[in-house]
Amino acid sequence: MNTMEWHDAGLLLLDQTLLPIEVKYINCSTVEDVVEAIKTMKVRGAPAIGVAAAYGLALGALHSESIDRMSFDNEIEVAGRMLGATRPTAVNLFWALNRMLDVLHSNCDKGVPEMKRILLDEAHRILLEDIEMNQRIGSFGSQLVPPGARVLTHCNAGALATGGYGTALGVIRAAHESGKQIQVFADETRPLLQGARLTAWELQQDNIPVTLITDSMAGYLMRKGIIDLAVVGADRIAANGDVANKIGTYTVAVLCREHGIPFYVAAPISTIDMNLDNGDDIVIEERETVEVTAVFGQQIAPQGIKVFNPAFDITPHRLITAIITDRGILRPPYKESLKNIFV
């Protein structure tokens, strides 16, 4: 099932806020529609956000009524700022927008009609490249998964979080496809339950054996010797290897270190931000209190209770066994290995 599809009327997005109860696509026909979809997490996951933003910029271009390039370029830059203001942590968003704007500025000799086509073609290219990168991540990462392994994953870093195939779930999917007879443990991932709603559903759809656990059960399973490795995605990776990912990832990494279990991060190179020295420089998004105080619209906490709701945390590089990218498996020291993949 595709996370997103382009058609003549615009961008079709699978509404992930409704899964697994309802499978429904929404049509985004304007850049404002894409902005709203990203803000409300109808589309989520760092790579998927980046691809959606690229299409959002293309929609802004297609609906532009400007005739001259100066006015047209100004419109596209405004659209880029709107999309860039949706979610601050996932670097893929800004990577995709910068790539689209680079295409805009490097084709200043083209007329507006041709530029509209060029921008849409670039968005298509970003989607296809994302799927290919995820498949390479899966191929590299499956080498780290022993036959019969019991794998813990946190949040959702699958086809739903990307253009297709997935990063962390790409590793799991590739290991399953190679006949390794793995078992997956997906933690629920509060507060929005991406593990329970999305990862468990996605793996079930692909007939990959999966067991759902609550977030607080991971340590118990590790102590019992039930988990062999953990693999997660990433929303931003700093130059030293520190990783921003869904809140609770740091806890899983600490538990893995305590129990001598490999902890792997899977992400495309578009998630690596070499402009940030370490994780302390990563902006952590804070979201609405209702995500914590209610579940599916049902209040579960006292009215007026004070809430702190950071969407992500930082896992220090020292807790990460390896980073699996579309260009290979990176090992410590990450300052060296991350720098080398861009050479």
Q: pLDDT tens digits, residue range 184-221?
A: 999 999 999 999 999 999 999 999 999 999 999 999 99
Whether residue 343 has pLDDT greater than 90? no
CA angle 139, 316, 271 (to 5 degrees): 45
Residue partners of 24: CB distance under 8 A and separation at least 6: 14, 15, 18
pTM: 0.96
Mean pLDDT of 253-262: 98
4-135 — its CATH code?
A: 1.20.120.420
Choosing from 33, 215, 235, 326, the catalytic residue is 235
Is the pLDDT at 1 greater than 80? The verdict is no
Question: Using the 8-state DSSP alphabet, how is residue 283 labeled?
Answer: P
Q: Is 277 a catalytic residue?
A: no
Q: How far is CA 245 from CA 91, 179, 238, 257, 330, in A?
A: 11, 29, 12, 17, 18
pLDDT tens digits along 64-115: 999 999 999 999 999 999 999 999 999 999 999 999 999 999 999 999 999 9
Give the residue carrying structure tokens 């593990």: 195
Neighbouring CB atoms inside 10 A of 135's CB total 17
In this structure, whether the domain defined by 144-340 belongs to CATH 3.40.190.10 is answered with no
Residues sharing a CB contact under 8 Å with residue 192, sequence separation 6 or more, in sequence order: 41, 291
- At 45 the pLDDT is 96
User: Tens digit of pLDDT for each residue in 294-328?
Assistant: 998 999 999 999 999 999 999 999 999 999 999 99
Question: What residue spans define the domains of the chain?
Answer: 4-135, 144-340
